[in-house]
A and B are shown apart, each in its own frame.
Chain A
Amino acid sequence: MRFLKDLWRILRGDKGALIGGIIVLLYCLMALIGPWVVPLSNEQDPANAYAGPSWSHPLGTDALGQGVLSQIIVGSRPIMVVGLLAAIITVFIGVTVGLLTGYIGGWFDTLVMRITDIFLTIPGLPLIIVLAAFIQTTNPVVLAIILSITAWAGLARSIRSQAMSLRSSDFIEAAKLQGVPLRNMIFRQLLPNVGPYVAIHFLLAITGAIYAQVGLFLLGIAPISGTNWGIMINLAMAQGALYTTDSALYLFAPMAAIVILQVAFVFFSRALDSVFNPRLRVQ
């Protein structure tokens, strides 16, 4: 409750963050109920191809005469679901590894951190592309795992450094004396103290996953099936949208959808930052 109150106060003061939060919420609603509300028929209507904006198709139609706006709405769900799954995986691994290594220390820390460093060094996107090319999956969970293959490493390192400074604090000493088991120590004692940091990184992990995921569809590396924003841009480019003005809306509408969502996430995450970091509020 306290958290929501704080969040609301900050959001009222920071218009950018408020608008960002509202937009993120709207996108979530769109992904949740959009596909049920907006009909996307499989019927093609070539007579109606590249129509301009009209009452029935507010953003015009594509090469097959299907509404661009309804495709954007239907296409939001796969993108958001995979982005969310990837962020959950990234944050879960990053936090667990970071807290364990930071708390336990010693050779365990050295060993795991060396492995983490390897993942930190390997460029993420090329690895994702290569894996996606080999695996060719349409399963959202598998795609999310591929997308988070290296993203957890940076989070693990920064969580570790926070856990290391928490380790010497009084309440951890007290818990240790009480003989609290490791599980409790990690998830009950340490986790709440890094919670804020994790929340912000969760949002940023979503934006990172959406970036990489749309990129995969854009380049046609992930299998092109169904409807999502990346596939829309891919098809628009393949149909020569760059050199005809006909399909400009079909190309730019999904791009705008992505940009607005990414910007909204970044602005909203800034508000969370000030909720959790009272120091930033004073400045």
Chain B
Amino acid sequence: MTTYILRRLGMALVVILVVLTMSFFMVRLMPGNPMDALAAQLRAQGGLTEQDIQNRLNAVYGVTPTAPVWQQYLTYIGNAFRGDLGVPITNPGTTVVAIIAEALPWTIIVVAFALIISFVIGVAIGAAMAAFQNTWFAKVTTFFVSVLSAIPNYLVAIILLYFFTGVWQIFPSGGAYGVDVTPGFNAEYLKSVAWHAVLPIAATVITSFGGWALAMKGSAISVLGAEYVRAAESRGLSPRRITQSYIGRNSMLPMITQLALSIGFMFGGSVFIETYFQYPGIGFYLIQSVNQRDYSLMMGCFLLITVSVIIANLLVDLLYPLVDPRIARPATRKKAEVQADKSVPDEGLGAGGTMA
């Protein structure tokens, strides 16, 4: 168990390091890179000494441009691990970390609620489809669920915006809470927050519960045909016991594996959702900084999205042994892993463009 946890922790650190390295090289070493571009721009403005320019670059990107590349790299990594991601170009009065710290909770709220709601709805519908397969219910549901899961989430967001903020004006079209409430732990504020989160969560749930339903259906049907289920039936176990401990638990295994994968997709999709609903989460700032060519803020957002996904994955990984104890034992780990790879159903993966 300890080795398992250490392995996962080590892997998480490695991925963070890789992403940091990638972002360093993109900002610093690409031809026509943002750092040189900013230097050229400051020089063109005139009135600044070379020293001022270096100081400014140092503030924005946290590295000294004249130092050797390896030294810049080490400084960059060191700063990042100390929580210093530089200063946004467009807003030098604050820091990248300050903006992100304000934005991240909103993203986590929307992603977490959307994920839990669509997972629960999807797994319930999928289980029902598997239990009543070959009935009209299963056929009709499969059809609707497949259609919904194939629709890109940003298009659903546009449709929701069109009707609920444009035509009928039921929900607010932007922000995380109204201007007339004071942030804090009071009913007014919480109500406003919930009201503003409805559309972003709805857009995500509408496009993602279908994938879960199809995946659960596939998984449950394959378990239904398994020999141990037939064995349990012939032993005369009660139907309730069979559905709960033999079918239910085993068909949930691939769902949990997919949960880890889908967290990344959810954070990715939230970029569109937040931008369209002008919801001040981290995806919103990512797109805003891209459009304003604010590369330090952009890389900060990208890093934090990645780190959030890694931490969420780590949580799923650490909880996974509770569902599948084999994974934490060296002797059975390989087998369980291979099985998990195989049993990720194709249908759930590609639908709705979740591959990306």
Contacts and interface: CB of A to CB of B under 8 A. Distances in A.
Determine the main DSSP class of A at the interface with B.
helix
A237 interface: yes
Interface stretch (B40-48, B65-73, B115-123, B266-274): B266-274
Contact of A201 (B150, B310, B342, B350): B350
A223 interface: no
A138 B301 CA distance: 25
Contact of A219 (B15, B275, B306): B275
Interface stretch (B79-87, B98-106, B154-162, B180-188): B154-162
Contacts of A125: 265, 268-269, 271, 356
A255 B290 contact: no
Nearest to A115: B18
Interface residues of B, number: 64
Interface stretch (B141-149, B239-247, B318-326): B141-149
Interface stretch (A2-10, A156-164, A180-188): A156-164
B179 interface: no
Contacts of A211: 152, 352-353, 355-356
Interface in B210-232: 221
Contacts of B18: 118, 122
A201 B346 contact: yes
Interface of A: 16, 114, 117-118, 120-131, 133-134, 147, 150-151, 154, 157-158, 160-162, 164-165, 197, 200-201, 203-205, 207-212, 214-215, 218-221, 233, 237, 242-243, 251, 255, 258-259, 262-263, 265-267, 269-270, 273, 283
Interface in B243-284: 261, 264-265, 267-269, 271-272, 275, 283
B313 interface: yes
Q: Which 10 A-B pairs have the closest CB atoms?
A: A211-B353, A204-B350, A125-B268, A208-B355, A212-B356, A161-B341, A123-B264, A266-B150, A133-B290, A263-B150
B198 to A, nearest CB: 18
Given A233-B158, A262-B150, A121 B355 contact: no
A207 B346 CA distance: 13
Contacts, number: 180
Contacts of B269: 125
B342 A126 contact: no
Contacts of A197: 346
B81 to A, nearest CB: 18
A208 B350 contact: yes
Contacts of A128: 356
B272 A237 contact: no
B77 interface: no
B299 interface: yes
A218 B154 contact: yes
Given A204-B350, A263-B146, A121 B15 contact: yes
B309 A161 contact: no
A154 B355 contact: yes
A277 B264 CA distance: 30
Contact of B133 (A212, A243, A266, A283): A283
Contact of A118 (B15, B34, B154, B161): B15
7 contacts: A123-B265, A134-B34, A162-B342, A204-B350, A211-B152, A211-B355, A266-B146
B277 to A, nearest CB: 12
Contacts of B338: 161, 164-165
Contacts of A204: 346, 349-351, 355
Contacts of A214: 152, 154
Given A123-B268, A154-B349, A158-B344, 9 more contacts: A16-B143, A123-B305, A129-B287, A130-B298, A154-B261, A204-B346, A208-B353, A218-B154, A255-B158
Given A164-B338, A201-B350, A207-B353, A259 B151 contact: yes
Given A207-B353, A266-B350, A237 B158 contact: yes
A267 B356 contact: no
Nearest to A266: B150
Interface in B1-56: 11, 14-15, 18-19, 23, 26, 30, 34
A128 B272 CA distance: 13
Contacts of A273: 346-347
B238 interface: no
B286 interface: yes
Contacts of A158: 341-342, 344
B88 to A, nearest CB: 15
Nearest to B146: A266
Nearest to A263: B150
A207 B341 contact: no
A56 to B, nearest CB: 27
Interface string B83-114: 00000000000000000000000000000000
Contacts of B135: none
Contacts of A150: 356
A218 B272 contact: yes
A212 B353 contact: yes
